[in-house]
Chains A and B, each alone.
Chain A
Amino acid sequence: MDPFFYLVIYAGAIAGASCGLLGVYIVGMRMPFIGTCISHAAMAGTIWASVLGINPTAGALVASVATAVSLTAIKPGKTKLDTNVGLAILFSLMLGLTFLGMGLVTGSRSEVLSLLWGSILYVQKEKAIVITIFALILAVFVWLFNKEMKVLLFSRSMAQATGVHSGFVYCSFLGLCGIILAVNLPLIGGLMIFSLITNPAASAYQLCRGHRWVVIMSITLGVATTMIGFGISYFFDLPTGACIVIVSTMIFGAAVLYRRVINSRD
């Protein structure tokens, strides 16, 4: 195996772990489409940064965080709008802004298009360090605010009514979510992010009893999915992203089957 592949495996494992952890909350809060929505916000941010002549990464980060944090405007009981409908509206806006920006940009569009598919095989050491730092920040955040995040998962309105500091924690979580997705996008792409956020967490929710085990299982499955996907891709010379997505879906299918068999243990 080429030495460069170790860095690819490491970056894949970190991306799998951080998406797995993020997925516990995103899937639990029933907004899995945030992955797709933020990836398109990052695309729009990147292309508009190119149009305006500023740093594309900064553009992607600002657009992602702003999109994620804007979801805090949807409040249970106050806004007659489901979070997923809000995400769909933001998604269409970001798609529109992306295409508008593409029409205006004069240089290469390959950087923008690569965000959709990612390019993990070309990962650089600096980018691997950045995603590691933000994965650690996410881990520390959910450890510090574990009790508040659990209440938010269970019921946002109950959290709000009973004085849990839900607004601050929810807003911080969404902001962090935007950053994590934006820094992982150039490596694993929008499509893989969507699958790595949704499938390991959804599988963990099928398999585990208790929040702690859901978190551990989702991170483990996120890492395992990328590793198995890499392995299949390497040994059978198949596209890496497609292998990871299909493996994560198969793991979810196996988790559903397992739960049906042992349902009484719940």
Chain B
Amino acid sequence: MKAVSLKISQVQVAAGGRKILDVGELNIGSGEFIAITGTNGAGKSTLMKVCCGLIKPNQGSVVFNDIDIYKATGWRQSNLRKHIGYIPQSAEYNAELPFTVSEVVAMGPTASKPLLRRLNSNDRETIDYWIGQVGLSDRKKQTFRSLSGGQQQKVLIARAMATEPGVLMFDEPCSNLDFNWKYQITEMIDKLYQTNKMTVLMVCHEINLLPQSCNRVILLHDGKVVADGDKEKVINSQAIRDAYQCEMETVKIGGRDYIINKGI
């Protein structure tokens, strides 16, 4: 898999007569691990969906390896999207259907297969390999709906990895998980990144969950990028205090950064 670069220029998304995203220039280099954070309604998920081609901006461009995803049409756009491994929030998938773990992971290679072409033995090997990598080999015949939230997240990660993506996009991968699962999932993302060196974009509320490999944080507030840079600098910046409208202090415990609210 080859990591992809993204260039976001002058992107604006409006809804209900209000700009919900207004980003000037944002360059995401190939192989970077970037966290997108900010308050509720700051535009994090919108930015993620703009990047993966799900929300067409009112203006601006999103360039994937020199090709504008919104100018490419039909099959060309479809081919461009095959580089994306997208892990959405739970509301965006149908977890009640009795798909088995194998079937869900097999949906990954489906993207890279042309229409009318069936999955072959190589695809089956890839599927089994990634189920093994996330530690669910003994559950591959079990239904997705019978798994815990954390295990379901692992299945979705395996599904995304089975596409051999150039960029992995996570939309709050740890929401609705207990603290132990949150750490397990972020550790897994960190390990995958270090092994495969693809580009990673991760929408995340909790700074303490950001993996060690994540060295750049983009802070959004009211749809605008208010800070972008080194993780340490952004989480200690005045911009983050202004965005959350509170006094805060950052403490490091076990190599992870925790933000403590000192009051409004």
Contacts and interface: CB of A to CB of B under 8 A. Distances in A.
A214 B97 CA distance: 10
What size tier do the contact residues of chain B reach?
A: 35 or more
Interface in A117-147: 144-145, 147
Contact of A161 (B54, B94, B104, B110): B54
B31 to A, nearest CB: 20
Contacts of A266: 98, 142-143, 145-146
Given A157-B54, A162-B160, A211-B98, 15 more contacts: A150-B107, A150-B110, A153-B94, A153-B97, A154-B99, A158-B93, A160-B53, A161-B84, A161-B169, A163-B77, A163-B81, A163-B111, A169-B115, A214-B98, A266-B98
A163 B80 contact: yes
Contacts of A157: 54, 88, 92
A210 B103 contact: yes
Most chain B beta carbons < 10 A, residue from A28, A162, A266: A162
Interface of B: 15, 49, 52-56, 75, 77-82, 84-86, 88, 92-94, 96-100, 103-104, 106-108, 110-113, 115-116, 118-119, 141-143, 145-146, 160, 163, 169
A77 B119 contact: no
A155 interface: yes
Nearest to A156: B92
29 contacts: A30-B94, A76-B54, A77-B54, A77-B55, A78-B54, A78-B56, A145-B115, A147-B110, A147-B113, A147-B119, A148-B115, A150-B103, A150-B106, A151-B107, A154-B99, A154-B104, A158-B92, A158-B93, A162-B85, A163-B111, A165-B75, A168-B115, A205-B97, A205-B98, A209-B98, A210-B141, A211-B99, A266-B142, A266-B146
A97 interface: no
Given A153-B94, A209-B98, A210-B98, A158 B88 contact: yes
- Secondary structure type dominating chain A contacts: helix
A66 interface: no
A200 to B, nearest CB: 15
Contacts of A209: 98, 100, 141-143
Contacts of B146: 266
A204 B247 CA distance: 55
Contacts of A168: 115
A232 interface: no
A109 to B, nearest CB: 41
Contacts of B115: 145, 148, 165, 168-169
Contact of B99 (A150, A161, A162): A150
